[in-house]
Amino acid sequence: MNVLVIDVGGTHVKVLASGQREERKIDSGPTMTAAKMVAAVKRITADWSYDVISLGYPGPVLHGRPVADPRNLGSGWMNFDFRRAFRRPVKIVNDAAMQALGCYRGGRMLFLGLGTGLGCALVVDGQVEPMELAHLPYRKGQTYEDYVGARGLARLGKKRWRRYVRDVVKRLRTALGAELVIVGGGNAKLLKKVPVGVRLGSNENAFRGGFKLWADESSRRLGRPRRRPRAGRSTRKRVKPLGRGRGPARKGRR
């Protein structure tokens, strides 16, 4: 089964399919609607063969559907029928969660994506949970994203931006009890060094996570799913009867 992974971002939309070595991308931005994205992806992947799609979405996703339009893109994403538009099965997850899946190796890991905005996802024992932390209050009435997203980088300059990134990483790591923090996204490369317990991630992790979505049918669970009992069968242990019409066995005859 060939998978097409679509990583939707506020600046670019990147795609990669099974068996392909190089990603392709298109520009996005405030005018990029869901319909425009689908048309553009179809155009640049016309010579690729794929059966199913993984879509990393830059916003909250509930039960496989976007529940809000992206802040940095156009409108019309929430009620868009991606399966019908692509004519293929589509799995939609938060973009940070997809990257987190791609770089997870065990334990309690926090993923932070530094791009146009700030993506967050926590993975604990293989269970991934997207976290909408970017728009929580941080300093002077502004949010985390206002300081460490692309707007913060442009306003503060690289030196001050790096200082705030280190502070945000420390705060969120402490609050969530993460053993390891992976910092990814397009602007992660601008960090000169990272503290102990923090590693820089690769953009390829988004594609790895997208492929995993279809390789592991146990949804967001990494690792082997537990076997479920067959329908109609009880999960209780059967107790062996002591014998028909007899009471408890006696120790011996008198």
Q: Residue 222: is its pLDDT beyond 70?
A: no
How many angstroms separate the Cα of 21 from the Cα of each of 18, 41, 61, 234?
Answer: 8, 17, 29, 49
Q: What is the DSSP letter of 51?
A: S
Strand pairing report for 118-124 and 108-114: antiparallel
Which residues neighbour 101 within 8 Å (Cβ) at sequence distance 6 or greater? Answer: 93, 123, 128, 208, 209, 212, 213, 220, 222
Q: In the structure encoding, which two tokens stand for residue 120, read together?
A: 């967050």
Which residues neighbour 44 within 8 Å (Cβ) at sequence distance 6 or greater? Answer: 15, 24, 26
Give the whole-angstrom CA distance, residue 239 versus residue 242. 9
> Band of the pLDDT at 231, cuts 50, 70, 90?
low
Q: Is residue 151 part of a domain?
A: yes
Which residues neighbour 103 within 8 Å (Cβ) at sequence distance 6 or greater? Answer: 109, 111, 182, 184, 201, 202, 205, 208, 209
Q: Is residue 32 part of a domain?
A: yes
Q: Is residue 241 part of a domain?
A: no
Residue that wins the pLDDT comparison between 238 and 103: 103
- What percentage of the chain has pLDDT greater than the value 90? 75
Q: Is residue 224 part of a domain?
A: no
Give me the number of domains the chain comprises: 1
For residue 22, give its domain range: 3-215
Give the whole-angstrom CA distance, residue 163 versus residue 23. 32
Q: Is residue 136 part of a domain?
A: yes
DSSP H helices in the chain: 34-44, 82-86, 95-103, 144-148, 150-156, 158-176, 204-215
pLDDT of residue 239: 44
pLDDT of residue 73: 94
Neighbours of 67 (CB within 10 A): 12
Tell how far CA 150 is from the center of its chain: 20
Give the whole-angstrom CA distance, residue 146 versus residue 81. 31
Which residues neighbour 4 within 8 Å (Cβ) at sequence distance 6 or greater? Answer: 15, 16, 17, 18, 41, 45, 48, 50, 52, 53, 54, 88
pLDDT of residue 215: 87
Q: Is residue 167 part of a domain?
A: yes
Q: Is residue 228 part of a domain?
A: no
Q: What is the CATH number of the domain that holds 159?
A: 3.30.420.40
Render pLDDT for 124-147 as a digit per residue (tens, 0 to 9): 998 999 998 999 999 999 999 999
Which residues neighbour 194 within 8 Å (Cβ) at sequence distance 6 or greater? Answer: 169, 183, 200
Which residues neighbour 35 within 8 Å (Cβ) at sequence distance 6 or greater? Answer: 76, 80, 85
Q: Is residue 116 part of a domain?
A: yes
pLDDT of residue 216: 59
Q: In the structure encoding, which two tokens stand for residue 173, read together?
A: 């790591």
Render pLDDT for 162-209 as a digit per residue (tens, 0 to 9): 999 999 999 999 999 999 999 998 899 999 888 889 999 988 899 999
